[in-house]
Structure 1
Amino acid sequence: MALILTNREVAQAMDAAEYVDAMEEAFRAYGAGAAVNSLRADACLPVDRYTPEVRGRVQRLIEDLPLDADPVYAPETIAAAKRAGEVVYRLKTISGGYPQCGVAAVRISTHFDTQTRLDDTLRRVKLPLAPGWQFMSMVVLLSLETGEVLGLIPDSHIQRMRVGGTTALGVKHMAREDASRVALLGSGAQAQAALECVAAVRKLERVRIYSPTASNRARFAESMRRKLHLDVIAVDSAEKAFEDADIVLTATSSYEPVYQPQWLRPGMHLGIGTLLEEEVETFPLSRSIVVSLRPFGGSSDFVQNFVMGSRNEPTFGQLINKQSSRFDWESMVELGDILNGRAKSRESPDEITHHINNNGCGGLALVSWSLQSAR
């Protein structure tokens, strides 16, 4: 019989350390050829191409959104998103199989994308228009023995912890053993998950956090001080966050690089959240560049894009693929190579290590573990 869980049940099923353990197990299996992960497919429907009746309903929902509707986005961010010239409904799907847990799964996620410029940076603001400011994100878990549905699992918490756990694996295996001072760029739910998971694998001395909205970074610092009992300090620039840091974590909605090459120092470890945040010009400074997963089949694409009414229209997935095409993927090591002993993570204490959290294969492990814990 299929089990249906709530977000609260999923959040209570495992702690941060267990999420990291599940991710490590999954990446080791993937690196050994014992798991499979598909490309993500994005079906994009620009709202201005809807039928007039449906388009009008969506536009009214956006107009009626209160500026304080979201616990993460600041009112000025919501206001900017409401003024965005284009809104695109994006349906994302990705699938995979993990024999060690006896499961396969399909992840389905939907939201409305807007692009807006805040603090001179182009950002993506995702608008969930379901009642209660909700995103729809779900995993259908399937048995590899019978093919039957084992569970329907909401994915919002698991998605955050999947990315955070992967970031923590990079820190665990690539950062210097004495690394303890964190620069964190971002103040949303993904930044929280990254810090929680990194704190589960390293004893941290201090965290400096920067995000463009002062109230958001102050709120985040206070919340994480209480939750993790760490010295978390909000600073007023990304460059200040980098001062004295030996671990750098990014978790932003930026479409553009979020740091400058001159901020890097010997011995740093960079945990970069998305390809779009990456500053490719820093690669010559980093001898050890590790990616979660390389692209499939010799292509540089990570996302298959399908846009209603157009073949070449720019989408978020196409931006990722365009940035990906700048990378020399064959020269990079996968996280699974390190976990299976086929590659070194660091050659010396002064080396700058670089982990690009570009994709993930561990969602299946997290969903399976959560389902087992809930049962």
Structure 2
Amino acid sequence: MIYLSNQNIAELLTPKDCIEALDEAFHALARGEAASRPRTDVWVPCGRDDGYYRWGSMEGAIEPWGIFCTRMKSDIVTWTREGTDELHCVEPGTFSGFLMLFSTRNGEPLAMMNDGILHHLRVAAGAALGVRYLARENASVVGCLGSGGMAHAYLPAFCAVRKISQVKVYSPTQAHRETYAKEMSRELGIPVEPFDDPEPVVRGSDIVTTCTDSNKLVVTDPTWIEKGMHLANCSSKEFSFEIVKRCDIVAQVGAETFGAKGGMAESERHHGWASWVVGRPEQQARIPKRPVSNLDFVNYPSLIDLLNNPSMRRTSPAQITFFHNLGLLGFQFAAVAAKAYQMARAKGVGLEMSTDPFLQDIRD
């Protein structure tokens, strides 16, 4: 058994590695050889008036690879007056998220990993698959709303599946967007221009992506959306549903809800995931409601549908396509974690750990 740190994973995996691992895994899922349990959260008052404790977990398995993965995270969530979500564990600037990888051949614990780098690589790889299967082949201009960690991950992933020649970026903080533009231009060797207004970033772009931590809608004006565009989100809270309905093709990476039949629809619509919430009504009222929910996308085709039926993909350069990049989280973590483990073993990377703390001689 090994432990892989964020630094180990950053040295092992490239965006292209993760894209190809996810693509292969989604083909296995399309054949019925994989499974994903939707994310579930538990919310508990944390002793402060501006936040809540949140525990989140999700799992996935890929049978041909012989692996099962669980991802867990422990957060204190607070909400700013500007409408963003802030997370920390113990103190601001530290976070607790990790994965456990197991063998489905003999049940053996294989690895424990930090989830930070894997999370960014996974989400970006999913968005890149949306670009691969829905964006125009000649798409070359990216408009990015957001300049944080996900924006840093999305752009290299897009460059791995399309020949990107120009990027425009907007985020509310001038220093952040200017720093992002300099860093990404240097990393990718293409011009990245910061803007102080989101509209020109959206207009004229071939691919428009939102990478924000906003709990309010980010793009709401349907007139900004032009023929031939491909839209990609990072959260259901970013594009208004009026924009979604204007698109010719809408697809989701995969369902991440139990839906009405699971008896969790109300919590999923409010919190984003199936959630169990402790607290008095006035405490629960602190948690912002989502303007658009994952449930709004459950009846749209999934990435699996696009793989099984290519006729459901873009058929005209004028079509507007939308990829809802939020779903099948546990399965996706299984795919990228398995790739990291495989490469770590091949290269002798990681801290060896005893399995003794995870095995016992008492049947439970």
Q: Which residue of 2 aligns with 1:9?
A: 8
Q: Which residue of 1 aligns with 2:350?
A: none
Closer, same or farther in 2 for the Cα pair 1:215/1:288, shift >3 Å? same
1:233-252 equivalences under 5 Å are 233-252=193-212
State the 1:314 CA deviation.
4.8
State the 1:303 CA deviation.
1.6
Alignment-mate amino acid for residue 65 of structure 2:
C
Q: Which residue of 2 aligns with 1:255?
A: 215
Closer, same or farther in 2 for the Cα pair 1:197/1:231, shift >3 Å? same
Q: Which residue of 2 aligns with 1:268?
A: 229
| Residue 309 (1) aligns with residue 269 (2) | no
Q: Which residue of 1 aligns with 2:105?
A: 145
State the 1:242 CA deviation.
1.2
Residue 157 of structure 2 aligns to a residue whose secondary structure is helix
Q: Which residue of 1 aligns with 2:152?
A: 192
Closer, same or farther in 2 for the Cα pair 1:229/1:329, shift >3 Å? same
Residue 277 of structure 1 aligns to a residue whose secondary structure is coil
1:1-150 equivalences under 5 Å are 2-48=1-47, 85-118=49-82, 122-130=83-91, 133-150=93-110
Residue 309 of structure 1 aligns to a residue whose secondary structure is coil
Residue 284 of structure 2 aligns to a residue whose secondary structure is coil
| Residue 340 (1) aligns with residue 308 (2) | yes
Question: Given the alignment, which residue of 132, 135, 143 partners 1:183?
Answer: 143
State the 1:298 CA deviation.
4.6
Q: Which residue of 2 aligns with 1:220?
A: 180
Aligned-pair RMSD on alpha carbons? 2.1
Output one character per residue of 1:212-268: Cα deviation in whole Å (capped at 9) or x when no partner. Answer: 000000001101011111110110011121131010011101112211211000000
TM norm structure 1: 0.83
Tell me if structure 2 keeps the 8 A contact 1:46–1:86.
no
State the 1:8 CA deviation.
0.6
CA distance in 1: counterparts of 2:173 and 2:158, whole angstroms: 24
State the 1:18 CA deviation.
0.8
Aligned length: 332
Closer, same or farther in 2 for the Cα pair 1:269/1:251, shift >3 Å? same
Closer, same or farther in 2 for the Cα pair 1:5/1:263, shift >3 Å? same
Alignment-mate amino acid for residue 14 of structure 2:
D
CA distance in 2: counterparts of 1:295 and 1:366, whole angstroms: 18
Closer, same or farther in 2 for the Cα pair 1:295/1:155, shift >3 Å? closer
Residue 267 of structure 1 aligns to a residue whose secondary structure is coil
Q: Which residue of 2 aligns with 1:287?
A: 248
Residue 374 of structure 1 aligns to a residue whose secondary structure is helix
Tell me if structure 1 keeps the 8 A contact 2:240–2:292.
no
CA distance in 2: counterparts of 1:364 and 1:315, whole angstroms: 33
State the 1:111 CA deviation.
1.8
Residue 216 of structure 2 aligns to a residue whose secondary structure is coil
For structure 2, list consecutive stretches of 5 or more residues without a partner in the other structure.
346-364
Closer, same or farther in 2 for the Cα pair 1:342/1:34, shift >3 Å? farther
Residue 227 of structure 2 aligns to a residue whose secondary structure is coil
Output one character per residue of 1:86-129: Cα deviation in whole Å (capped at 9) or x when no partner. Answer: 121211111121112211111011221111132xxx21122343
Percent sequence identity is: 29
Tell me if structure 2 keeps the 8 A contact 1:107–1:138.
yes
CA distance in 2: counterparts of 1:295 and 1:215, whole angstroms: 35
CA distance in 2: counterparts of 1:182 and 1:246, whole angstroms: 6
Closer, same or farther in 2 for the Cα pair 1:218/1:322, shift >3 Å? closer
CA distance in 2: counterparts of 1:235 and 1:329, whole angstroms: 34
Residue 237 of structure 2 aligns to a residue whose secondary structure is helix
Tell me if structure 2 keeps the 8 A contact 1:32–1:336.
no
Question: Given the alignment, which residue of 182, 189, 205 partners 1:229?
Answer: 189
Q: Which residue of 2 aligns with 1:203?
A: 163
| Residue 357 (1) aligns with residue 325 (2) | yes
